[in-house]
């Protein structure tokens, strides 16, 4: 089993095994903007340590047997959007429209068996 050497800010260098380390990759739309980190609990002082990691560190840790948690970008974030973001006025218009147009009850009134 591989031994991983990490540094605790309080205790200095500590030796860990792969199941004591976790890698987390929060993907972004652009790969360069993804956030990567690894965490471990120091076996000496029991403090939880979180450290930033680059692609090389993630690759090295996963090759040593550390499990990586990958949090993907939702598909909606990758879609092409036209126009500006929805603003307060747009939301207010929607609320006013829904107050005067009850589309669900109209659909239910015309459905067979209702």
pLDDT tens per residue across span 59-109: 999 999 999 999 988 888 778 888 888 999 999 998 888 888 776 666 666
Is the predicted pLDDT of residue 114 greater than 80, yes or no?
Answer: no
pLDDT digits 0-9 by tens, 19-70: 999 999 998 877 777 899 999 999 999 999 999 999 999 999 999 999 999 9
Q: What are the residue boundaries of the structural domains of the chain, listed by start?
A: 4-75
Q: Give the residue carrying structure tokens 């840790």.
A: 61
- State pTM to two decimals: 0.63
Pairing of strands 68-71, 21-26: parallel
Reading the block at residue 111, the tokens are 């459905």
The predicted pLDDT at position 9 comes to 94
The predicted pLDDT at position 104 comes to 67
> How many CB atoms are closer than 10 A to CB 83?
6
């Amino acid at each position: 089993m591989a031994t991983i050497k990490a540094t605790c800010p309080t205790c200095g260098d500590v030796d860990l095994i792969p199941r004591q380390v976790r890698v987390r990759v929060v993907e972004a739309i652009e790969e360069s903007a993804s956030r990567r980190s690894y965490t471990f609990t120091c076996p000496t002082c029991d403090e939880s340590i979180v450290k930033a990691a680059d692609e090389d560190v993630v690759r090295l840790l996963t090759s040593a047997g550390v499990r990586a948690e990958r949090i993907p970008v939702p598909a909606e974030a990758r879609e092409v959007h036209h126009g500006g973001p929805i603003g307060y006025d747009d939301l207010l218009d929607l609320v006013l429209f829904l107050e005067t147009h009850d589309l669900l009850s109209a659909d239910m009134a015309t459905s067979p068996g209702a």
